[in-house]
Structure formats: structure tokens, C-alpha cells
Amino acid sequence: MTDARSIADSHPDTVRPATRDVILDAAERVVSREGSGRLTIDAVVRESGFSKGGVLYNFPSKQALIEGMVSRLILQAQEDCDCALEQATATGANPVATLIHVILAFKRTHRDVAMAVLAAASESPELLDPVRAMMARIRNDIIANAPDPVMARIALLAADGLHLADLLGLDMITPDEQEAVEARLIQLVSEPSPK
């Protein structure tokens, strides 16, 4: 008798995610559902369905697991920004507004992973080094494309402030107010620069 997995495995169009990605997906689900304090190798083993040896082979410690999450997050952010910049260039859209929009959406989508990284960084501050480097690259892309670099910096700082307030649970504004603020930030960077 043939099971569904062997049929899928033998089908040439089937793309199976890499083991590391499946494990990282499981880690993100644990963090999303239970919080960063509950991220353990054993929790990821249960969530992923892999053996403990299989998880440890790919990520020999919780630190390595978090570093894997950070690396994947950085790669995804850079890909999203590169794609958005290409699309803005091809369509004639404002590249700064497009990049700000992508950054805001990315931060919302990956909030739980960012919280896990922030929590882990309290014990291992070096975890933030690659995040800082990635953010510097993105900021440089935005500033290089900005007709008004000062306004672009203001929008970036505001976006960072919104994100940090959310991560820290400060509840400074409602979701509707945040949506309005984000829309206004994008509008501000879309306006012609003063002469």
C-alpha cells in the first residue's frame, strides 16, 4: 500500500521544504502561539514532528535556532525590499513610499519572531548585529532613493517607534490610529520635496 507522502515524494512537481525551514517554521509557530519564553528545543521537536536528534542536528542549541530564525528573517526582509524597489522602478511608483510600506507590513507580519529575537538579545546582544546591518542596508536604499532624505529619515524613525511600541506592548495608539499614521507616513514621503 502506498501512502500519500511517498506519492508526493515521487511526483516531479512536488517541492518539499528544506528540513531547516520546516524546523524554523515550527519554532515560529511556538513563538507565535506561546511566546518567546516557551521556545525550547523540546517544544520545536513536538511542533515539527522531527526527532530531537533531527532538530539538534540542524540546530545544536536554542541559540543556534534563534540565529537561524534571525538569518531567515533578514534574508526575507532583504528580498521583500529588493523586490519592492524593482517593482517601484518598473512601474514608476515612489520608491521611498513603496519601501516604507513594505517595511511596515514586514514588521507587522514578523512581530512574533522579532519579539523572540529581542528577548534572546537580552542574554546575547550580538544576535542584533546582523539585524542592525540589514536595517542599515535598507535605510541606505531608502535614503538613496529619497527626493527628501530628511523626510525619509523622519518616516523611518516613526515606523521604528511604532514597531518598538508594539513590541513592548505600550499600546500608545489603537490599530485604527496606527493604520492612519502609517498611511500618513507614506503620504508624507510621497509628497514633492521642498526646494
**DSSP letter string, 121-169:** HTT-GGGGHHHHHHHHHHHHHHHHH-SSHHHHHHHHHHHHHHHHHHHTT
- Label residue 166 left, alpha or beta by phi (over 0 means left) and psi (-120 to 50 means alpha): alpha
Three-class secondary structure of residue 110 per DSSP: coil
DSSP state of 184: H
Q: Looking at this protein, which amino acid is placed at residue 68? A: G
DSSP H or E run through 16: none
Q: pLDDT in tens for each of the 195 residues of the chain?
A: 333 333 334 444 444 569 999 999 999 899 888 877 888 999 999 999 999 999 999 999 988 998 898 889 889 988 998 899 899 889 988 888 888 888 888 888 888 888 777 777 777 888 888 888 988 988 888 888 788 889 889 988 888 888 888 878 787 888 899 889 889 988 888 877 665
- What is the model's pLDDT at position 16? 56
- The Cα 122–Cα 112 span in angstroms is 16
Residue closest to 45 by CA, chosen among 27, 68, 63: 27
Tell me the fold of 13-60: Arc Repressor Mutant, subunit A (1.10.10)
- The Cα 150–Cα 147 span in angstroms is 9
- The Cα 129–Cα 64 span in angstroms is 15
- The Cα 22–Cα 47 span in angstroms is 10
